Structure 1
Amino acid sequence: MDLNTVREVRDARVRTPWQPGDAWLGGGTFLFSEPQPRLRRLFDLSRMGWEPVTQRADGSLEIAATCTIAELSGHGRRSAARAAPLFEQCCRAFLASFKIWNMATVGGNLCNGLPAGPMISLTAALDGVCLLQAQDGSLRRIRVADFVIGAGLKDLAEGELLRSVTLPARSLACRTAFRQASLYGLGRSGALVIGVLDPQDGSLAVTVTAATVRPFRLWFPLPPGAQELRDALDGAVGDADWFDDIHGLPAWRRHMALRLAEEIRHELTTDGAR
């Protein structure tokens, strides 16, 4: 879609004072999908030269905001990390064409803050941390689970830029389980639940997204029983936190989230689990 209110596109490498009507341009798959009447100027991030995925010496993984879904999928298929299959599972949750995969970015998906954003699901479940850069160059870090604060809402100041997301080495060494539900065969996620079992201390984290307006990551020092898990989810997610749109009513989303969470708990904690 043409953005006929945009009068200028600038290279983001050139420092320019931020003003009302400005926006960062990553892959543009959402930005150009519908009218953006408030926008007047875009700052193109495509020439920033950030390495899509960087393996750090401490074993952590830094994913640049400009990393495309195709690049992240490729890394996941090559990686020997135990949690690597989760990368492809979340990439596939886009249910998007190869054109979208080669343009849409991890940072764009997080900054849209949509409940069904699978990059939010992936990075929140693996306890990812966002690196944010303000207009004055100062940096701050915030957990992905706290970065998205509502449907389409995020903890991002005016002009602030999401630079990258870092996944800790410990999370990458965990065993994971993935469940997704949709009202349609090729529909948007109505509920997406991820379990992460830490082999070091036996703790279990269960992350619910898509069904809720923001990600909910519940951590248990020891794997819970079925009723304990259900009670914990009901205690953490209030009635107003279940998302409501054409892709699923709140009651259905809650039912599916609880059901999928129990499937994940059983898969990761039964005696036969590998």
Structure 2
Amino acid sequence: MDLNTVVEIRDARRPEPWRHGDAWLGGGTYLFSEPQPHLRRLVDLSRTGWTPVHTRADGSLEIAATCTIAQLSRYARTLRAEAAPLFEQCCRAFLASFKIWHMATVGGNLCNALPAGPMISLTAALEGECLLRAQDGVRRRTRVTGFVTGAGRKDLAEGEMLRSVTLPARALACRTAFRQASLYRLGRSGVLVIGTLDPVDHSMAVTVTASTVRPVRLWFPLPPTAAALTAALGSAVAGHEWFDDIHGLPAWRRHMTFRLAEEIRRELEEAR
């Protein structure tokens, strides 16, 4: 879609004061998908030259905000980590064309903060930490679970930019379990639940996205009983936090979340 109110595209490598009506341009798959009448200038991140994704000396994985889904998928195929299969599962949860895969970015998916965003699911489940940079160069870090605060809402100030997301080595070493549900065979995720099992201390985490307005991550020092998991989910998600749109009613999303979470609990407990 043409954005006929935009009068200028600026290279992000040339620092200029942030103006009202500015927006960061990554892949643009969301930005150009619907009218954006409030925009006047786009600040293009495509020429920043950031390394899309790489493993750091400490074993953690740093994913640049400009990393595309295709780049992440290719890298994950070479990743020697227990959690490697989860990357492709979440990439495939897009159910998008190859055009979207080669343009949509990890940062864009997080910053749109849509409940069904599978990069939110992936990074929240693997204890991702966002690196944010303000216009004055000040940097701060926040967990993905705190960055996405609601449907379409995120902890991002005016002009602030998501630079990267880092996944710790310990999370990458975890065994994972993945469940997804949709009302349609090729529909948007209505429920997406991910479980992780730490091979060292046998702690378990269950992360819920798509069915809730924000990512919810529950951590247990040892695999919980079915009753304990049900109680934890029930107290962690308030009634108004079950998402409601054409892709699923709150009652259905809640029911499927509890069902899939229990499947994951059993799968990971058996894997101990």
SS in 2 for 1:194: strand
2:97 pairs with 1:78: no
1-side partners of 2:79 and 2:55: how far apart? 10
1-side partners of 2:253 and 2:231: how far apart? 16
Per-residue CA distance 1:106-157 (angstroms, 9 max, x = gap):
0000000000000000000000000000000010000000000000000000
How many residues are treated as equivalent by the alignment?
A: 272
2:166 pairs with 1:198: no
Shift of residue 13 of structure 1? 0.3
2:156 pairs with 1:156: yes
1-side partners of 2:133 and 2:188: how far apart? 31
Per-residue CA distance 1:175-222 (angstroms, 9 max, x = gap):
000000000000000000000100111100100000000000000011
Shift of residue 54 of structure 1? 1.4
Shift of residue 91 of structure 1? 0.1
Name the residue aligned to 1:69. 69
Name the residue aligned to 1:217. 217
SS in 2 for 1:262: helix
2:8 pairs with 1:4: no
Letter in 1 for 2:174: C
Shift of residue 76 of structure 1? 1.0
2:259 pairs with 1:255: no
Q: TM-score, normalised by structure 1?
A: 0.99
**Which residues of 2 match residues 92-103 of structure 1 at below 5 A?**
92-103=92-103
Shift of residue 100 of structure 1? 0.2
SS in 1 for 2:28: coil
SS in 2 for 1:146: helix
Name the residue aligned to 1:87. 87
Per-residue CA distance 1:9-59 (angstroms, 9 max, x = gap):
010000010010000000000000000010000000000000001110000
Shift of residue 77 of structure 1? 1.1
Name the residue aligned to 1:13. 13
Name the residue aligned to 1:187. 187
2:163 pairs with 1:173: no
**4+ aligned runs moved over 3 Å, structure 1:** none
Name the residue aligned to 1:144. 144
1-side partners of 2:30 and 2:166: how far apart? 23
Shift of residue 80 of structure 1? 1.2
Name the residue aligned to 1:112. 112
Percent identical pairs in the alignment equals: 78
1-side partners of 2:52 and 2:166: how far apart? 12
Per-residue CA distance 1:60-107 (angstroms, 9 max, x = gap):
000000000000001111111110000000000000000000000000
Letter in 2 for 1:7: V
**Could you list the runs of 5+ residues in structure 2 that have no partner in the other structure?**
none
Per-residue CA distance 1:221-267 (angstroms, 9 max, x = gap):
11100010011000000100100000000000000000000000000
Name the residue aligned to 2:233. 233
Q: TM-score, normalised by structure 2?
A: 0.99
Name the residue aligned to 1:59. 59
**Could you list the runs of 5+ residues in structure 1 that have no partner in the other structure?**
none
2-side partners of 1:86 and 1:77: how far apart? 11
Letter in 2 for 1:16: E
2-side partners of 1:262 and 1:81: how far apart? 25
2-side partners of 1:234 and 1:75: how far apart? 37
